[in-house]
A and B are shown apart, each in its own frame.
Chain A
Amino acid sequence: MDLALPPVADEFAAAAERAVVGMGGVEVARRAEADPTIRTTEVQAMLEALGVPDIDPRADVDSAAVAGELCRIAGRHVLPFPIVGYVMARPGEGVPAVLASAPPLRAEHGDLFDQWVVHDLSGDVGAATPSGQRMGDRLAPFTTDLVRQGPSRPSDLVEVQYLYVLWASYLLGVVERALELAIGHVKDRVQFGRPLAALQSVKFQVADATVAVDGLRELVRFTLWRVASDPGHALADALAARLQSLEAAQSVLRLAQQLHGAAGLCDEYDISILVRHVQPALRLPIDADATSDLFFEATRIHGFESLFSSPSDHDGRAR
């Protein structure tokens, strides 16, 4: 039993955090709204310098952990780039991947790449190109419609599982940062002659959010290990991480914004940018309730390993 991240993942996370913070952190997302070209000229250039195109999450557990940490760091700053799809591009091919539900197919920053690999939830995979249609200004500033090109074929469950868990890792980063921002605010903000952090209602809510974030962190790490160490047999695990990340994001982001008061609604504050920019990730390709349905179905078909699940719950494999 070894719950620690591999050193290579820790080191990569530290380097990625330095690089993103060096560019301005959440400020990059703010600037990208005014000048979307920096997503390529600055963000993609930074990722290439970090060696992201050489990472293949499918290679082994260490590589999966590195990819997970990359997505987490991107989530901390809502980095304006399709980081999950980009790291899932096959080395040498450079075509990013996205999960999509029924048409219209949509991808975050879909306009940045001419070609996409689209895994839809009915179990097919195919190629797609951006249509040029973008969704919204405030809650989906970089979400783009995609158009299917050519025939589909059965999707590879391994790819789908990595996409789910890497998105969960991205959302882990978002909630980690949201909680840090909330903690910083309630320690600084003085009302009734004392910091908000001195109020028991605030303490208890921060404690509950801490449990949610810590629990998600442990679950995401475990799921990365499951997906990487037993490829193709962890669909329910990946959906569990996805569901937990959506629910943690909804509760922690709501709390973090509330604790900021009116300031939390203003773009000057990072929490506002986090809350706005993460919305597509909470709903694409499906939201928490639909994910819950998929998870339930997956547990019936593939099982969900636990201390007392029977071997027959696991496709006939030994536990």
Chain B
Amino acid sequence: MDYEFGQEGDQLRSDLRELIADRLPPDFLGAFTDEPGDLAITQRFCKELAARGLLTLSWPEEFGGLGGSLWMQTVVREEMWAHHEPRGAQYMGVNWVGPSIMEFGTAGQKALHLPALAAGEEIWCQGFSEPDAGSDLSALSTRADRDGDGWRISGQKIWTSYATMADYCFLAGRVAGSGDKHDGITLFLIPMDRAGIEVRPIKSMLGPHHLNECFFDNVWAGPDEVLGPVGQGWKIIRRTLAYERVGVARYARCDRLLALVGRELEGTWDSLAPALRARWSRALIKVRVARLLAYRCVAAQARGEPSDALASVARVAVTQCDQEVAETLFQVFGHQSLAGARSEAPLHGALEDHWRYAQASTVASGTIEIQRSLIARSVLGPS
């Protein structure tokens, strides 16, 4: 047993913190703010990470990575999310778009997309959810009809993060003639500037241009834009979601915010109500447990044995931890926590930002109810 990242990991963490301190404003809260400059910061930061080989550190060298271990990638993941994800939308490319293309893509698709992802030059969005296919994702009804050697895609996607800025969509559609609802689902890699695609932002508590609706009206997809076998996309989606569920180190931001607030509270701990001290104590432990369960997934992935059930266990623990820590931190500052303005709010609004994002954590990437169902299936068997 050894829970150290070792000298290489410690050095990487230290380098990343130095880079973050140097390149990001101290009140940086991610790409989805009312400050247009924040999005530009993430784009510059991504290119700098890419130039240092850190954006896709764990990818094989042939695909533009450094061949680093998943544990080193975990360090990157933790530091990025803890500091309000200065990679912007690129974390998705690193976490699941790239790995899915590596596993299921053609040589041409790999050559087209992987170097661009590794260079931080290609932003993706995920076209999975639909108005009538959320948790029941395999009920999706976006149609992909044969047209010559390609396809014509029509349908509506929703809750699509980053759609306004994405270069490509990782799009799930259904081809005709299938029986079982899992059959026929096919994945397409579609440029977002293709004729027939319209994106409409959805106003939400997550901030401007985060959530969007995407309308696909007879959008052309060439034969070289299908990922994996036609009609066999469900297997790819499941693998993609497993990558995605452990790809965001939400516990790391909880950890950092607790540490920052803890330092502000030095000398005044006795003024906290005993019930809040108890809640604080449990929050510290929840963060540690969530981190350890996430590490269990990384270890399984590193052994070449990724597991849906382990990912779901980690996801439940991490997302519940996210919400519990958000609420605990709010209680420390009371109604002052509600201030969103950076200059007035506790930690320049970082707590307010975290609380808003935490509300989405048990919904995004598969609701907590879906995660519970997956866990139950693994321990009780199908029923």
Contact = CB atoms under 8 A, between A and B. Distances in A.
A178 interface: no
Contact of B259 (A204, A210, A289, A306): A306
Given A187-B381, A210-B313, A307 B82 contact: yes
A12 interface: no
A304 B287 CA distance: 11
Interface in B47-99: 71, 78, 82
B256 A296 contact: no
Contacts, number: 141
Interface residues of B, number: 49
B3 A203 contact: no
Contacts of A300: 269
A219 interface: yes
A295 B277 CA distance: 10
Contact of B5 (A1, A222, A295, A308): A1
Interface stretch (B214-222, B232-240, B371-379): B371-379
Contacts of A296: 277-278, 280-281
A-side interface size class: 35 or more
Contacts of B9: 1
Contacts of B313: 210-211, 214-215
A1 B2 contact: yes
A144 interface: no
B21 interface: no
Contacts of A222: 3, 288, 292
A207 B309 CA distance: 10
B369 interface: yes
A240 to B, nearest CB: 5
Given A218-B293, A244-B289, A306-B255, A3 B1 contact: yes
B118 interface: no
B295 interface: yes
A226 B2 CA distance: 9
B263 interface: yes
A1 B282 CA distance: 25
Contacts of A240: 284-285, 288
B4 interface: yes
B152 interface: no
Contacts of B291: 307
Interface string A46-68: 00000000000000010001000
A289 B282 CA distance: 11
Contacts of A104: none
A1 B263 CA distance: 29
Interface in A214-254: 214-216, 218-219, 221-222, 224-226, 240, 243-244, 247
A114 interface: no
Nearest to A305: B288
A215 B1 CA distance: 17
A240 B256 CA distance: 19
A146 interface: no
Nearest to A291: B281
B252 interface: yes
A211 B263 CA distance: 31
A206 B316 CA distance: 13
A221 B3 CA distance: 10
Contacts of A306: 255, 258-259, 284, 287-288
A210 B375 contact: yes
B259 A215 contact: no
A150 to B, nearest CB: 36
Contacts of B373: 200, 203-204, 207
Contacts of A61: 1
Contacts of A292: 278, 281-282
B296 interface: yes
A21 interface: no
A295 B372 contact: no
Interface in A158-217: 183, 186-187, 194-195, 197-198, 200, 203-204, 206-208, 210-211, 214-216
Given A218-B296, A295-B281, A307-B252, A225 B380 contact: no
Can you list the 3 inter-chain pairs with the closest CB atoms, starting with the nearest?
A: A203-B376, A207-B372, A218-B292
Interface of B: 1-6, 9, 71, 78, 82, 252, 255-256, 258-260, 263, 269, 274, 277-278, 280-282, 284-285, 287-293, 295-296, 299, 313, 316-317, 369, 371-373, 375-376, 379-381, 383
Interface of A: 1-6, 61, 65, 183, 186-187, 194-195, 197-198, 200, 203-204, 206-208, 210-211, 214-216, 218-219, 221-222, 224-226, 240, 243-244, 247, 289, 292-293, 295-296, 299-300, 304, 306-310
